[in-house]
Amino acid sequence: MNQSQQTIEPWLRGIIRCPQCKGEVVDSVDPTGGADVTELRCDTCHLAYPVEGGVPVLLVDLARRTDG
Ligand SMILES: [Zn+2]
């Protein structure tokens, strides 16, 4: 019973873009969120979007700033 993977579906990962700048995002791990918290980081906007249960939350309001 180990179904709670944080991985994103490949087809979905391929079409994900930053909702703010429409640029590509890179896989990252939230250093403040514990061991296996995945996020998608935009180095252009200095924002990191959380991934909850394998579902990316592409909302600027919920993104974590990475330049602070
Ligand atoms: Zn961006």
pLDDT digits (tens, 9 = 90+) for 6-39: 678 888 888 999 999 999 999 888 777 665 668 9
pLDDT digits (tens, 9 = 90+) for 31-63: 776 656 689 999 999 999 998 888 899 999 999
Q: What three-state secondary structure class fits 56?
A: strand
Q: What is the pTM of this model?
A: 0.79
Look up the domain containing 34 and give its range.
3-65
CA of 47 to the centre of ligand 1 (A): 7
CATH number, residue 59: 2.20.25.10
CA of 4 to the centre of ligand 1 (A): 28
Among residues 51, 46, 40, 50, the alpha carbon closest in space to that of 17 is found at: 40
CA of 36 to the centre of ligand 1 (A): 23
Which position has the higher pLDDT, 52 or 2? 52
Total tally of structural domains belonging to the chain: 1
CA of 22 to the centre of ligand 1 (A): 6
